Amino acid sequence: MTALNDILETTTPTKVASGFVFTEGPLWHPDGFFYFVDLMSNLLYRMVPGQKPEKVRDTQAGNGTTFDLQGRLLNCEGGARSVTRMEHDGSVTTLVDRFEGKRLSRPNDVICHSNGSILFTDPDFRVPLEQREIGHAAIYRVAPDGAVSEVVRCEYPNGLALSKDERTLFVANTRWTQYIHAVELDSAGNMVRRRVFADMSADGSNGVPDGMKIDEAGRVFCTGTGGVWVFEPDGSLIGIIKMPEVCANIGFGGPDLCTLLLTASTSVYTLRVKVPGLPHPWYRLRG
């Protein structure tokens, strides 16, 4: 049976930046730096390992991040009730803020499919009832032509990740019952069926199912109570990477994608693993 020591190269997280309010959205750029946000301070940062973080721009409660296939930065901005896109010249445009004419609630996390589609979660629990226009929480897809469709409804969808073959969409459910959904997709990206991949309920208040990533071996890494929970591809729990602060999100970075980037409350940490994370589709296009 796999143990955490079989996966981790280093077992103690290293603090690389601190002094923030609530860090989120770590995202590695192959040019040798990574982005992250301070959600509560409404700021997007970039950081070269070993150097101090630099402010990139103001956000409106910026949260989950990813790239599109052109390498443009996408950011869920809950305060703006939208997913935004930062162009290469630094200007910011709105990718999506409505579904069927109704305002989104509070986009939380976003990922990119290799066909160029964008998938994002939109929980509605933190929006006052009278301001909810859609009426339920869901995961949406933005097709390459800009068309927006609903993929699946969930209680409180948060972190997202796609399997290596992109036929399973993993969804962290944060509130009430805490678990990871596994949503099976057809070749067009539509839901076929879904199941509970892993139960993440636990005693304690130091973390909930939130940010999630997958490594080349198909293991699922998801933040949760106590740190980062690591699961085998079949959903069995390998162990929990203990964190000194409540960890909200993770990403794989470094030239070999073997450095875990961990955004945890007031700080950013790193940890080395033995198996690389799945590369973003844009990385492959860069060559």
Q: Could you give the strand order of the β-sheet that contains 259-264, starting from the edge strand earlier in sequence? A: 14-18, 267-272, 259-264, 247-253
Three-state DSSP at 39 gives helix
Amino acid at 228: V
The mean of the pLDDT values for the chain is 96
Residue 1 or residue 46, greater confidence: 46
Share of the chain above pLDDT 90, in %: 93
Q: Confidence class of residue 97 from pLDDT cuts 50, 70 and 90?
A: very high
- Quote the pTM value: 0.97
Give the closest residue to 211 by CA, choosing from 229, 185, 237.
229
Can you tell me the mean pLDDT for 178-182?
A: 96
The model's confidence at residue 287, banded by pLDDT at 50, 70 and 90, is low
Ordered structural domains, the chain, with CATH = 4-286 (2.120.10.30)
- C-alpha dihedral, 26 to 27 to 33 to 35, nearest 10°: -60
Q: CA triplet 255, 258, 261: central angle to 5 degrees? A: 95
